[in-house]
Structure 1
Amino acid sequence: MNAALPCPRPLGDRLEHELHAAVAQFLRLALRPPTTWTTFPAGGGGLERGRQLARLGLRPGWPDILVLHPAPTAIDGCRRVILVGLELKTEIGRQSQVQRGVEADFTSAGATYALCRSIDDVADALARAGVPMHATAGRRQ
Structure 2
Amino acid sequence: MANQVEPILTEELFQFLQKERFVTIATVDHETTGPNVSAISWVYAPKKETVRFAVDNRSRIIENIKANSQVVLNVIANESTYSISGSAVLKVEKMDEVPLKLALVEIHIKEVRDVMFYGSRISVEPAYEKTYDKDAADRLDLQVMTAMKKA
**Short-chain TM bin:** under 0.3
Greater helix content: 1
TM-score, scaled relative to structure 2: 0.25
Tell me which structure has the larger Cα radius of gyration: 1
Greater strand content: 2
